[in-house]
Amino acid sequence: MSLYSTLLGFFSFLGYPLSNAAAYLFESIFLLLAASLSLVFMIYLFRKYMARVQLRIGPNRVGKFGLLQLIADVFKLVQKESLFPKNRDDLPYRIAPVMVIIGLMLAFAVIPYGSFFYFGSLTVSDTGVSVILLFAILSIMPIGEVLAGISSRNKYALLGALRAVAKDISFEIPMMISVLAIIMMASARTSAPLSIDSIVVTEVLPYGILQPIGISVFLVAMIARASYSPFDMGESDSELITGFSTEYSGMRFGMFYAGLFGSILLGSFVVSLFYLGGFNGPFSGDLGAVWLGIKALILVIISFTVWLSMPRIRIDKFVNFGWKYLLPLAMINLVISGALTLMTGW
Amino acid sequence: MKSGEPGALVTTLEKALTWGRSNSIWPLTMGLACCAIEMMGTQASQLDISRFGSEIFRNSPRQSDLMIVAGTVTKKMAPRLKRLYDEMPFPKYVIAMGVCVIQGGPYVHGYSVVLGVDRVVPVDVYVPGCPPTPEALTYGIMTLQKKIRGETDR
Amino acid sequence: MTADDSGQPNRGKDGRTIFNVDRDKLLEFMKGMKEKGYDHLSLITGVDRKDFIEVVYHLHAVERNEYVVVKTTTNNGVVPSVTSLWSSAKWEEREQYDLMGIKFEGHENLKRIFLPESWVGHPLRKDYDLGNVQYINMDSDGEDYATFDEGDGW
Amino acid sequence: MQDFIEINFGPQHPSTHGVLRLKAKLDGEIVKEIEPVIGYLHRNAEKLCEMTFYADNLVYFDRMDYVASMLMESGYLEAAEKILNIVPPERVLWIRVIMNELSRIASHLVWAGAFGLDLGMLTPFFYCFAERDKVLEVFTEICGSRQETNYMSIGGVYQDITPGIVDHIEAFLESFPKRLEEIYKIFVGNDVFISRNKGIGVMSREVAIDYGVTGPMLRASGVNYDVRKAEPYLVYDKLNFEVPVSYKGDNLARFLVRFEEMRQSVHILKQAIRKIPDGPFFNPKAKKSMMIRLRGDGEYYARTESSKGEFGVYIVADGGVKPYRVHVRSPTFKNLSVVQELAKDQMIADMVAILGSVDLVFGEVDR
Amino acid sequence: MIEVKEPRRPIPIIGSLKGMLIVGKHLFRKPVTVQYPEVRQELPKRFRFRIFLNLDECVGCTLCEQVCPNGSIHMQSVERENPRNKRKIYPDVNFGTCTVCRNCEEICPTDAIYLTHVFETSRTRNSFTYSPEELAMNEDEVKK
């Protein structure tokens, strides 16, 4: 029972091919709405959380508790003039922010959300190779950022893009290797170890407990992926203005801004799925999605605290850290989990 | 006008857009001199400008709506200020903070200070004081909000 | 203040030893002072006495905590540079050149420090005409130039 | 043949703390050469001082180091009162010491917050400003203005310090050290902060003295030199305090020296607030109606220890009601000139950290 | 002289937790924000901002004009019945340059000119010269 089949049943009066199309359409709309709403909520949460941690109040003039603040921001960004730099590389400049936002939305489609009462499983797309698909989609966003930096012909943006590239290549390999360890462990129990859903469903203990090294490597990689402090070298407010997005204005900038927060949310979902048991928990048949949400929310709050309290790490130190510490740690993790699987058969 | 007619829809839409514009003013970090510290004070916990939606001080002129010219504009700085203003996308606003930017302030008899930033860029709201207290600047921002909504022209 | 060419010290109102040194012997005298342990050149300033310019050096021995003042005078505004002895003179001399119009012979980069290169006159001179307003604008390379044309700059 | 990226930082750039322009040549991430260009806040204060009465000149001195205006005022008055031959009464000296140290705390707090922002730490800025606001509340209560106080006048202060204000300061001194330690721990309790600052921007003792660097930057390079001890002014010789010194000379040392200075300032304040004697708060020779009639003679150079370093005021008088020549030895002007030495062959991120550690205030650099 | 001690280098990653914890703890503290337009912080008695003028007290001595550091105050002749002000001149203040230094208040022999707590003086037009009559008025009346 999934959201798709629920919708299919709902639209069954239209006849087969039409009902199928309608179900897909509405599912996509549902996903887009939910993703954008959660993004808006994320940004609101971040602002409120930041304000409270900094002994302030945060937005409270627009709507009750400032809940409509983000709507106002969107209204403003929409009517802002979108400037184009004179020497830009036109096509990449235009598609870069779109790539970021599309990559983000696609990634949300691959994640299994668990089930929720009447609707059943909220997962949108359940393929047998969702792990590969997810990480393929995740690597679209950095391309968008790099394109943005190079195509705007701005020295600050270029430097930001260069930093982003250097950062991306130094954390992606450890991230993949630590996921590999999970797939390896999962393959002992499930016939479809490349499907996130089956990895989560068949786990005995959350992998975070089995692989303490793995979770730390993956967490660092996810922070770097979302590129907030301490790993916001690509944007680095105080050094490179705003890095690769320096030349962007209006809604195009809004897309980058949403992309940043989307990455945090996405990262929290992925970490809680892989390492913290995802939608597993008491009554997961009905409350699976709620469990996932709670776990992700806690991770989001932790990310915000890291963001607000950490200084920016230097780019060469991060590259060093990625290749000299993260990569060997991920390898060690792989070996240990292999040995663990062999010995215990988990 | 009856509701349902296109005119009413346009008015409502315009109202909504104006509402959005007036409630989400992102200032550019344009700290020049003394007033910059009080501008930071406005941003800080005591007065917390984020309550009005002006939380995000953007460093890039491309992403900001409001230029708070905080501090003396010297003749050497004026061309740069003009360029930064030109780099901002429409709709954009300018608040002249402090007497130095209004009419030259304490340096009115000197040789290297621009006597009023309105000679360089058009100004929407003038906030006198040397420096204006964070409350006074907040009042200035509220005046700007009112001006955007068309409620005041004084 | 009488110019005392003998290099004999006298005391000022602030109780500090003042050496009046001839301009031609200044560099030699300063070398001797540096060897005596005056390793910190605290400030260089010029005083426009209308018919001549007085250049004042404040030297300080950090370890021994001794403080002396060296004064020299110039009629044509040319004084030997002491940048070879103290690096801090680099900017101090540029500042005095900019505002007071003292030319330091031997300074490798004697450019104006505050005002653009094409500014006419030296503002701290007593005969500087404040009524003759100059404006500054920026050329396409981002360098400033001064102009008397009100329409060109700010 | 190598190509360098030529880039202009500023004059309006978040890392430059105001209006500094850095012409930088970059080899990728590494800064090969920087040339600071200043003068974007040149407000001709020295010229204007020649055109204004002695008492009114405080307006311009307030706005020189605008985060520590009390220190500027007392620095100017050290010279101006000698020129005008007016001796302030005993009580005034103590009030000025209290105001100086409060101002020093405020200035260092602004620096700490901005330094955090430079390194990408968003939160300590707000804690520092919340504490600074408490200092400014004291200022508002005592003289009615937050930042540009214009509190001290020739031969005294404008308004007396009342028991209520003393209580207020004492309450602040009670709560502040605890908060200071908390802020301190947010910084040094962070691994990344230490690694970003330790061994970065090392300035040797010789370079520091050669470039005329003073204040916390000089003391971080291992020179025990503080004007408050070397040439005591006001009543600093009657107070018991230590001068913090570090021999490391790097960014972290400057950070630690400034924080230790804040602790010492609290220590000074605690003594001064108890010892403050009774008496008049201005010299009757300089009563208010005399403000535009005071005449000075001679020339005087007074140096004081501002929060940035040795702040010197050189006044030449010609017997008139306005000074003949005023020159300011601004500490930041010299501290900035050493940056091009320190930032050579460093990463961009380190250059920003070094600039932050200098504690730049452009009102004072450009005057 | 005391030598400052360098703190012990924290362990990587784990060492950063200390700072993070302190930041996180602030979530449970009361915000220090004063919600300005609704709640007003009580301004101290000595707080100074906008200049007011008591027309009846002013004797037209021009001391304030002389003492003003940057010439924000000019004397204006106003037709008004005041036996103490024979020359019938009163100060006007240009708030576009006034630095709120309160030297005029200090020097005024009759306390006619004084600084008040009114700080809500923002305008959308660059016309800040207050005539003597306007100096005696409230901010709302002046704006009309």
Q: Out of D130, D191, D291, name the one closest to residue E13 (CB).
A: D191
Please indicate whether, in this complex, the C-beta atoms of B50 and A56 are within 8 angstroms of each other.
yes
The Cα angle at residue A83 between residues A80 and A87, in degrees rounded to 5:
170
Mean pLDDT calculated for residue range A265-278: 85
Structure-token pair, residue E64: 């304030």
Say if A12 is an interface residue toward chain B (CB within 8 Å): no
Please indicate whether, in this complex, the C-beta atoms of B124 and E98 are within 8 angstroms of each other.
no
pLDDT of residue E63: 83
User: Considering the domain B6-148 in this protein, what is its CATH number?
Assistant: 3.40.50.12280
Structure-token pair, residue D331: 């500490």
Nearest residue of chain E to residue B93 (CA atoms): E124
Condensed to tens digits (0 to 9), the pLDDT of residues A282-340 reads 776 777 788 888 888 888 888 888 888 888 888 888 888 888 888 888 889 888 888 88
pLDDT at C5 over 50: no
- Would you kindly state where each structural domain of chain D is located, as residue ranges? 42-366
pLDDT of residue B5: 61
pLDDT at A74 over 80: yes
Residue C1 lies in a domain: no
Distance in angstroms (rounded) separating the CA atoms of residues E69 and B106: 7
* Burial per residue of C81-97, b for 16 or more beta-carbon CB atoms within 10 angstroms, e otherwise: bbbebbbbbbbbbbbbb
Q: Out of E33, E34, E49, name the one closest to residue B129 (CB).
A: E49
pLDDT of residue C2: 40
Instruction: Give A 236-255 residues with CB within 8 A of chain E.
Output: none
C1 pLDDT band, cuts 50/70/90, is very low
Please indicate whether, in this complex, the C-beta atoms of A310 and E24 are within 8 angstroms of each other.
no
pLDDT of residue E119: 80
D185 pLDDT band, cuts 50/70/90, is confident
- Contact present, A50 and A27 (Cβ < 8 Å): no
Instruction: Give A 217-246 residues with CB within 8 A of chain B.
Output: 237-238, 241-242, 245-246
- CA distance to partner chain A, nearest, from residue E122 (Å): 21
Please indicate whether, in this complex, the C-beta atoms of B75 and C114 are within 8 angstroms of each other.
no
- CA distance to partner chain A, nearest, from residue E14 (Å): 11
**Pairing of β B66-70 and β B27-28:** parallel
- Would you kindly state where each structural domain of chain A is located, as residue ranges? 83-344
A346 pLDDT band, cuts 50/70/90, is low
A82 pLDDT band, cuts 50/70/90, is confident
pLDDT of residue B1: 43
Instruction: Name the domain count of chain C.
Output: 2
Please indicate whether, in this complex, the C-beta atoms of E125 and B142 are within 8 angstroms of each other.
no
CA distances from B137 to B129, C50, D144, D181 (A): 9, 46, 17, 32
Question: Which residues in chain E are closer than 8 Å to D55, comparing Cβ atoms?
Answer: 67, 103
Question: Residue B93 forms beta bridges with which residues?
Answer: B66
Question: Which residues in chain D are closer than 8 Å to A316, comparing Cβ atoms?
Answer: 29, 347
* Residue in the block written with tokens 């140290």: D101
A119 pLDDT band, cuts 50/70/90, is low
Condensed to tens digits (0 to 9), the pLDDT of residues D8-51 reads 777 777 766 778 888 888 887 888 888 888 888 888 888 888 88
Say if A50 is an interface residue toward chain D (CB within 8 Å): yes
Mean pLDDT calculated for residue range A125-132: 78
Residue C75 lies in a domain: yes
Say if B14 is an interface residue toward chain A (CB within 8 Å): no
Q: What subunits make at least 3 CB pairs under 8 angstroms with C?
A: B, D
Q: Out of B48, B58, B60, name the one closest to residue A56 (CB).
A: B48
Distance in angstroms (rounded) separating the CA atoms of residues A48 and E31: 12
Nearest residue of chain B to residue C145 (CA atoms): B76
Q: What is the SS3 assignment for D291?
A: coil
Mean pLDDT calculated for residue range D315-339: 87
Question: Residue E144 forms beta bridges with which residues?
Answer: none
Question: Which residues in chain B are closer than 8 Å to E95, comparing Cβ atoms?
Answer: 99, 128
C and E touch with 3+ CB pairs <8 Å, answer no
Question: Which residues in chain A are closer than 8 Å to E33, comparing Cβ atoms?
Answer: 55-57
**Pairing of β E51-53 and β E113-115:** antiparallel
Mean pLDDT calculated for residue range E126-137: 79
Q: Out of C13, C43, C115, name the one closest to residue D39 (CB).
A: C115
Q: What is the SS3 assignment for D358?
A: helix
Condensed to tens digits (0 to 9), the pLDDT of residues B72-99 reads 888 888 888 888 888 888 888 888 888 8
pLDDT of residue C4: 45
- Contact present, B80 and C138 (Cβ < 8 Å): yes
By percentage, how much of chain D surpasses pLDDT 90? 0
Question: Which residues in chain E are closer than 8 Å to B47, comparing Cβ atoms?
Answer: 33-34, 36
Question: Which residues in chain E are closer than 8 Å to B140, comparing Cβ atoms?
Answer: 122
CATH class of the domain defined by D42-366: mainly alpha
Condensed to tens digits (0 to 9), the pLDDT of residues D242-263 reads 888 888 888 888 888 888 888 8
CA distances from B48 to A11, A45, B63, E83, E129 (A): 51, 17, 21, 50, 31
**Cβ pairs A/D, distance under 8 A:** 85
Question: Which residues in chain E are closer than 8 Å to D257, comparing Cβ atoms?
Answer: 4
- CA distance to partner chain E, nearest, from residue A197 (Å): 31
Residues in chain D: 367
Residue C154 lies in a domain: yes
Mean pLDDT calculated for residue range C17-42: 85
pLDDT at A55 over 70: yes
Q: What is the mean pLDDT of chain D?
A: 85
Identify which of D21, D123, D8 has the alpha carbon closest to the alpha carbon of residue D355.
D21
pLDDT of residue E144: 65
Q: What is the mean pLDDT of chain A?
A: 82
Question: Which residues in chain C are closer than 8 Å to B120, comparing Cβ atoms?
Answer: 154
Say if A310 is an interface residue toward chain E (CB within 8 Å): yes
Say if D75 is an interface residue toward chain A (CB within 8 Å): no
Distance in angstroms (rounded) separating the CA atoms of residues E50 and C33: 54
Interface ipTM > 0.90: no
Condensed to tens digits (0 to 9), the pLDDT of residues C34-68 reads 888 888 888 888 888 888 888 888 888 888 888 88
Residue C44 lies in a domain: yes
pLDDT of residue B153: 62
Please indicate whether, in this complex, the C-beta atoms of B59 and D110 are within 8 angstroms of each other.
no
CATH code for the domain of C31: 3.30.460.80
Please indicate whether, in this complex, the C-beta atoms of B40 and D63 are within 8 angstroms of each other.
no
Question: Which residues in chain D are closer than 8 Å to C45, comparing Cβ atoms?
Answer: 314, 325, 327
Mean pLDDT calculated for residue range D311-337: 87
Structurally, at CATH architecture level, domain E51-143 sits in 2-Layer Sandwich (3.30)
Say if D53 is an interface residue toward chain E (CB within 8 Å): yes
B6 pLDDT band, cuts 50/70/90, is low
Other beta carbons within 10 Å of C129: 11
Q: Out of B51, B55, B90, name the one closest to residue A81 (CB).
A: B90
* Residue in the block written with tokens 């902060």: D193
- Contact present, E9 and B23 (Cβ < 8 Å): no
Question: Which residues in chain C are closer than 8 Å to D44, comparing Cβ atoms?
Answer: 123
Residues C92 and C36 in one domain: yes
Condensed to tens digits (0 to 9), the pLDDT of residues E34-65 reads 877 777 877 888 888 888 888 888 888 888 88
Say if D252 is an interface residue toward chain E (CB within 8 Å): yes
Domain coverage including residue C23? 9-113
- Would you kindly state where each structural domain of chain B is located, as residue ranges? 6-148
Question: Which residues in chain A are closer than 8 Å to B10, comparing Cβ atoms?
Answer: none
Please indicate whether, in this complex, the C-beta atoms of D298 and C113 are within 8 angstroms of each other.
no
Please indicate whether, in this complex, the C-beta atoms of A308 and D349 are within 8 angstroms of each other.
no
pLDDT of residue D30: 84
pLDDT at C153 over 80: no
Question: Which residues in chain D are closer than 8 Å to B74, comparing Cβ atoms?
Answer: 39-43
For D262, residues 6+ apart whose C-beta sits below 8 A from its C-beta are D104, D105, D108, D109, D180
Chain Cα centroid distance, residue A236: 20
Please indicate whether, in this complex, the C-beta atoms of D63 and B80 are within 8 angstroms of each other.
no
Mean pLDDT calculated for residue range E98-116: 83
pLDDT at B21 over 50: yes
Residues C61 and C109 in one domain: yes
A71 pLDDT band, cuts 50/70/90, is confident
Please indicate whether, in this complex, the C-beta atoms of C47 and D334 are within 8 angstroms of each other.
no
Condensed to tens digits (0 to 9), the pLDDT of residues A29-40 reads 888 888 888 888
Burial of D117 (0-12, 13-18, 19+ CB in 10 A): buried
- Would you kindly state where each structural domain of chain E is located, as residue ranges? 51-143
Please indicate whether, in this complex, the C-beta atoms of C154 and B80 are within 8 angstroms of each other.
no
pLDDT at B3 over 70: no
Q: Out of D195, D350, D352, name the one closest to residue A238 (CB).
A: D352
